Amino acid sequence: MDAKTTARKRIEELQGELIALSHRIHAHPELGFQEVQAAAWLTDALSGMGFQVTAGVYDLPTAFMARAGHGPLHVALCAEYDALPSIGHACGHNIIAAASVGAGAALARVADQLGLTVTVIGTPAEEGGAGKVLLLERGAFDGIHAVAMVHPTPWDLVEPELISSRRFEVEYTGKGAHAAMAPEVGINAADALTLAQVALGLLRQHIRPTDRMHGIVTNGGEAANIIPAHAAGSFIVRSRTLEGSEALYERVERCFQAGSLATGATLEIKKHKPYAEVRHDPDLAAHYRRNAEALGRVFSDPSVVGTLGSTDIGNVSRVVPTIQPMIGLGCLPAVNHQPEFAAACVGEAGDRAVLDGATALAWTLIDAAGDPSLRGRLLQRL
């Protein structure tokens, strides 16, 4: 029996367990760095599949490493399992986690035959917490030759456009006062935030069509008859490259400084770790396309779909050859970060995405192990 047949047979054996794992994570959504149940379920499953599992790695309690095989070519599969506030698994991380576990289990069966070491890396807090960036900085990806995962969207895409982003929090501090009796002695922090947002609106005329600026007000005051002494918001800027998002951020920061200057409120900004754009390895991507098409997946034109957002695997892709193709649920008009998309992630198409994603990933890394040119390139980089 060849390696691909063995891998597919293993996924077929595990299909009930993988789908149940996806559904269990979906039914118990946990926010970034709080994914205690999901991490436990995943590590238990991988341990039962013969992996050597280490939980709570790199000072991240809900991160883990699960390893099998002893070959010189070291490949990794990233599992995500954090949810979104209020709308749960509306980005389908339950599918990602289950597909990576399935692919890892399939590869473990053929790892020594193919000269592979296989690691499933549990990566918490993709939704703004930069879990993979922290793991990268702390050495989790050292010694790994290739990284792969799939992410659900409405469409199948081999090399989706995933751009750089920078998240930051702003807080203005003014001076409270009675809004009717003595407004003249107050310093309105909410006005400072309003002025900043007006400036952002005007700036939109002068940015690239592919750039993005968006955010929410998290504190706009406490009562209509009190001049707000505090106001705060959470914002994100995005551009095609890490360097582009830094240049855009510098312009956006001046908009917030303008709010402070105009009102006299003081401004504090807390910047989070930036997400780089995803650089898909073309050879791995080509193998994934062929394998997914062999499973009956039909790919959409990325130029029609456009920008899909940002992810912390972009930072990994700058260091390690990486792919993150999108696996389609065919659920339009529902798109990611909508309740309707969350529902699709445990529907028939979502379950198929778990199994197809696991199979296509496993086959792709089997091909990488057996492609002399690609294998040689991956090994030579370390």
Q: What is the CATH number of the domain that holds 351?
A: 3.40.630.10
pLDDT top residue among 270 and 302: 270
| Amino acid 170: pLDDT | 98
74 neighbors 143 (Cβ within 8 angstroms): yes
Average pLDDT of the residues in 65-71: 97
CATH of the domain at 243: 3.30.70.360
Q: How far apart are the C-alpha atoms of 281 and 10, rounded to whole Å?
A: 27
In the predicted model, is pLDDT for residue 255 greater than 80? yes
| Amino acid 302: pLDDT | 87
Task: Point out the domain boundary residue: 227, 247, 271.
Answer: 271
Residues 288 and 251 reside in one and the same domain: no
Q: What is the pLDDT of residues 323-367, one digit of tens each?
A: 999 999 999 999 999 999 999 999 999 999 999 999 999 999 999
Residues 312 and 368 reside in one and the same domain: yes
The neighbouring-strand residues paired with 236 are: 167, 214
Q: What is the pLDDT of residues 150-192, one digit of tens each?
A: 999 999 999 999 999 999 999 999 999 999 999 999 999 999 9
Structural domains in the chain (count):
2
pLDDT band at 303 (very low <50, low <70, confident <90, very high): confident
| Amino acid 343: pLDDT | 98
**Mean of pLDDT over the chain:** 97
Residues 285 and 325 reside in one and the same domain: yes
Q: What is the pLDDT of residues 83-117, one digit of tens each?
A: 999 999 999 999 999 999 999 999 999 999 999 99
Give the SS3 label for residue 346. Answer: coil
Residues 225 and 344 reside in one and the same domain: no
In the predicted model, is pLDDT for residue 1 greater than 90? no
Percentage, residues of the chain above pLDDT 90: 97
Residues 300 and 228 reside in one and the same domain: no
Q: What is the pLDDT of residues 124-138, one digit of tens each?
A: 999 999 999 999 999
Q: List helix spans (H) across the chain.
A: 3-27, 36-48, 93-114, 131-137, 189-203, 242-263, 282-294, 302-305, 313-317, 339-344, 348-370, 372-380
| Amino acid 61: pLDDT | 98
Q: How far apart are the C-alpha atoms of 101 and 358, rounded to whole Å?
A: 8
In the predicted model, is pLDDT for residue 119 greater than 90? yes
Q: How far apart are the C-alpha atoms of 161 and 148, rounded to whole Å?
A: 16
| Amino acid 308: pLDDT | 87
Residues 139 and 176 reside in one and the same domain: no
Task: Point out the domain boundary residue: 216, 247, 271.
Answer: 271
Residues 195 and 235 reside in one and the same domain: yes
Residues 151 and 168 reside in one and the same domain: no
Residues 39 and 130 reside in one and the same domain: yes
Under 8 Å CB-to-CB from 233, ≥6 apart: which residues? 169, 170, 193, 215, 216, 217, 218, 219
| Amino acid 306: pLDDT | 84
In the predicted model, is pLDDT for residue 381 greater than 90? no
In the predicted model, is pLDDT for residue 289 greater than 90? yes
Residues 180 and 264 reside in one and the same domain: yes
Residues 74 and 220 reside in one and the same domain: no
In the predicted model, is pLDDT for residue 382 greater than 80? no
| Amino acid 269: pLDDT | 98
Task: Point out the domain boundary residue: 248, 271, 294.
Answer: 271
Residues 49 and 170 reside in one and the same domain: no
Domain with 136, as residue range(s), is 3-162+278-380
Look at residues 95, 134, 140, 90 and name the one whose alpha carbon lies nearest to residue 120: 140
pTM of the model: 0.94
**Which residue in this structure is represented by tokens 């050859």?**
321
